[in-house]
Amino acid sequence: MELRIRNFFKLLLLISFVLSLISFLHHIIALSPLTLKPLFPNEALPTKTGYLSINRSAASKSAIFYAFYEAQNPISSLSETPVIVWLQGGPGCSSMVGNFFELGPWRVRSRKASSENFTLEQNPGSWNRIFGLLFLDNPIGSGFSIASAPEEIPRDQLSVAKHLFAAITSFIESNPLFKSRPLYFAGESYGGKYVPAIGYYILKTNEHLHPSSQVNLGGIAIGNGLTDPVTQVATHAISAYYSGLINERQKNELEMAQWEALKFTKMENWGAATKARFRVLDMLQSMTGLATLHDFTRKVPYETETVFAFLSKEEVKKALGVDEESVYEVCSDDVAIALHDDFMKSVKFMVELLVKKSKVLLYQGHFDLRDSVVSTEAWIKTMRWEGINQFSRAERNAWRVNGVLAGYVQKWKNLSHVVVLGAGHLVPCDQALSSQAMIEDWILKRGSFSQKEDEQLANSPSSLFSLFD
């Protein structure tokens, strides 16, 4: 009997040993380089990445980092295929947020909350479906871009535009095919300044260049942009009040704070005006108790930390060809400090020239309370443009994507304004397919963005009365 018991225990020990061995071998195999999936698979790599110098003649090493994705399914020859150039806002936020969180062909996801177990998922609403897509970490000091010294970071939009122009012309020269391709500059938030600035600079510079050396500007697109702050800052109270987020007493308090920002702006005390605007936003945040002013329906802010964690990985930086010494930041404090006195300065006059000589798209996420629909409509009304009366009279049409209501479009000639339903500050993140349809139809002048709408209004009796206003 004892012999049987001893043999039984020996068998149990043997079974336990075998099971432990199998578990150990399985763990070793799982960690093997042969089976580990790379964080950045080859199919997700950009077409090309690198650095673009902002001043070829200077000894400075300051340069703008870029990631370019060629069109997945171009509908014309590459020499004629438009390229969208994306500029993130902030100021000082990285365009890699736009790339991996919003409109790029691949989005980074974390498999579990607060986990660094990343995966890249294809984005069906990518903006490079039929166009080329170029992301620039702008200005220098943002994202992976290099600022050799803090004093080299731009302090105003003219300096931003000069750097961007140098970077863009350098990129174009890297491949003869890019010379003839129309460029459409797009961005959101503080990009509402960068985008008009580079568009305006291109128009002005082209006037002094031989046609063969000119940059082929197709148009600009601004999403939830800060463009004319002096007009926009005065709208926060009414926007929140008529959204039911504050009461009349709070509205009055907020309007007093807004008046302070306006006062300093008119005095051209730019530092004080910027601080006053921040006080308005802080008051609005406190009054409403919202998780974020960027989308008053969200229970938590946009979770861009995943992008930060992903792009901080050495393996990812190596795959992107990033400078080894680069320390990635989603948004740079150094850039925000450098542009502190630029916040309340308007670039509306730049848009006024662009709408005359190019095409302009202004789009808004319906749920944004920071740079709201109301704030953009307010400054549009003040534009000095011969078509503004016709634009004001133009129908605001329901806009559908795949048969579903996606928002509203108002258009006249070169100016289009879109309200995107179900979206906040980051429209491509919230409504990927709608944003894709919008940018494609706008560039190609299809659907709600065709010239047919203009012709119908031009032939209607109401448009004739505007001649006598």
pLDDT for 170 equals 93
pLDDT for 212 equals 86
pLDDT for 16 equals 59
Query: Per-residue DSSP letters for 31-43?
Result: HSTTTPPPSS-GG
Q: Which of 94, 366, 425, 430 is catalytic?
A: 425
CB-based contact 393:457 (threshold 8 Å): yes
Residue 469 above 70 pLDDT?
no
pLDDT for 362 equals 98
What integer is the mean pLDDT of 440-457?
81
Q: Which residues contact residue 205 at a Cβ distance below 8 angstroms, ignoring those fewer than 6 apart?
A: 165, 215
Q: How many helices (H) and strands (E) does the chain have?
A: 18, 12
What integer is the mean pLDDT of 109-137?
85
Closest CA to 52 of 178, 156, 158: 178
pLDDT for 145 equals 94
> CB count, 10 Å around CB of 59?
6
pLDDT for 19 equals 54
Task: Reply yes or no on whether 417 is catalytic.
Answer: no
* Predicted confidence (pLDDT) per residue in 295-320, tens digit: 999 999 999 989 999 999 988 999 99
CB-based contact 317:311 (threshold 8 Å): yes
Task: Reply yes or no on whether 435 is catalytic.
Answer: no
What integer is the mean pLDDT of 363-392?
96
* Predicted confidence (pLDDT) per residue in 196-244, tens digit: 999 999 999 999 999 888 999 999 999 999 999 999 999 999 999 999 9
Structural domains for the chain: 48-227+304-468 (3.40.50.1820), 231-288 (no CATH)
Task: Reply yes or no on whether 425 is catalytic.
Answer: yes
What confidence tier does 2 reach under pLDDT thresholds 50, 70, 90?
A: low
* DSSP tag of 46: -
Calculate the average pLDDT of the chain. 88
How many whole angstroms from its chain centre is CA 452?
Answer: 30
> CB count, 10 Å around CB of 288?
16
Q: Which residues contact residue 79 at a Cβ distance below 8 angstroms, ignoring those fewer than 6 apart?
A: 177, 180, 181
Q: Which of 189, 332, 358, 434 is catalytic?
A: 189
* Position 337, amino acid: I
What share of the chain has pLDDT > 70, as a percent? 86
pLDDT for 35 equals 42
What confidence tier does 468 reach under pLDDT thresholds 50, 70, 90?
A: very low
What share of the chain has pLDDT > 90, as a percent? 76
pTM: 0.88
Widest distance between CA atoms in the chain: 115
What confidence tier does 176 reach under pLDDT thresholds 50, 70, 90?
A: confident
Q: Which of 228, 368, 430, 441 is catalytic?
A: 368
